[in-house]
A = this chain, B = another copy of it.
Amino acid sequence: MVLGPVMLRAMDSGSQLVMRDLRGQGLSHSLIGTDPVRKLAVYLPAGYGNAAVHYPVIYYLPNPLAKFDEDLYRGQVREVLDRAVATAEIDKVIFVAVDMATPLGCSWYVNSPVTGNWEDFMVREVVPYVDSNFRTLAGRESRGIAGDFMGGYGAIRFGMTHPEMFGTVYALHPVGTGSGIYTMYSRPDWKLLANIRSLDEVKDSPYGTIFTSIFQAGVPDVNRPPLYIDLQAHPVGDTVEIDSAVTERLRDNFLLETMIGKYADNLKSLRGLRFDWARNDGNQDHVYSNQAFTHKLNEFGIPHEAEEYNGVWGTGNWGTDGRVYTEVLPFFARHLVFEASSNRTQPN
């Protein structure tokens, strides 16, 4: 399964960033050309090589709209983790970034007959691989998941569906938690989608790729090439007609808020659940839907933190004044279980 590890040079701190390629068996049936070989970027803390200690693991789902940036993990990410350990923001941990992007952008972390079984891939392949190949603390209490933007959606979704695996969840500015002020159907070009001849054509439309990825995750239909989706709306003259049944199915399968009731007890079983979002996001739907999401979590009595901060999304996650350093790592420090011998106030 493992195609080849790439060991990076040891830096001064003694930490390492290891790259791995993993062939996803659950991804082989994809109809849209998904590459089944996925990259993992694995941060191993200083001293990993010459100790017998086991470490908690934080899985990280990056925003799939950006390329999976190995240099980021080797550089800024490693520096932030090194420094957080040095300043006792968190004890030594393993950090694993997983590439789950699809040709259209996002897998949305679901099992889809069109794009691949991403949920299975994560739960049955990625985590077992990491636990087998690195000295992890292999229980939910020591395993967390975080993500950014669409990756934040994934982190919450895995917390809903697999709390037996991920005990602590942090989502940075998640999207897809609910609908917003503007309707979802108002974004795609329905005339284009109704008459499309090839998957590539959606790339010419402003919201074409992102919404097709949403539909392939939420309303897949293997019998309808080339997009393999059911259409939520149909053009009628200058306007569109909304298909109520497809809309309901789309909402039920895609929006996290619709799943809260079903997975409420799972979410309550988490050791820690937190998400945040930027108040001044250019897309206020993200703000509106996250506000609605925290309200609905509260209706079910699900403990969580939900912070709206001053700023715009995407500028401030990394760096030592970024939210990973100031928020995410301290949150995992409070909720993950570390080995007894590991002591945060005595980092070295």
Binding site for B on A (CB under 8 A): 86-88, 179-185, 233, 240-242, 244, 247-248, 251-252, 261-262, 264-265, 268, 279-280, 282, 284, 288, 291-292, 294-296, 298-301, 304-310, 321, 326, 330, 334, 344-345, 347
Contacts and interface: CB of A to CB of B under 8 A. Distances in A.
A181 to B, nearest CB: 6
Contacts of A180: 295
| 8 nearest CB pairs, A to B | A242-B301, A248-B261, A244-B264, A306-B310, A308-B308, A88-B88, A284-B284, A307-B309
Contacts of A298: 183, 280, 310
Given A306-B310, A310-B306, A279 B294 contact: yes
A209 B28 CA distance: 54
A98 B293 CA distance: 37
Nearest to A348: B345
Given A180-B295, A268-B244, A309-B305, A87 B345 contact: yes
Nearest to A291: B279
A183 B242 contact: no
Copies of this polypeptide in the complex: 4
A306 B309 contact: yes
A96 B205 CA distance: 43
Contacts of A282: 182
A292 B294 contact: no
Nearest to A292: B292
A247 B251 CA distance: 20
A326 B247 CA distance: 32
Contacts of A247: 261, 264, 299-301
Contact of A284 (B181, B233, B279, B334): B181
A304 B183 CA distance: 14
Contacts of A244: 261, 264-265, 268, 300-301
A264 B244 CA distance: 6
A295 B311 CA distance: 10
Most B CB atoms within 10 A — which of A248, A295, A300, A321? A295
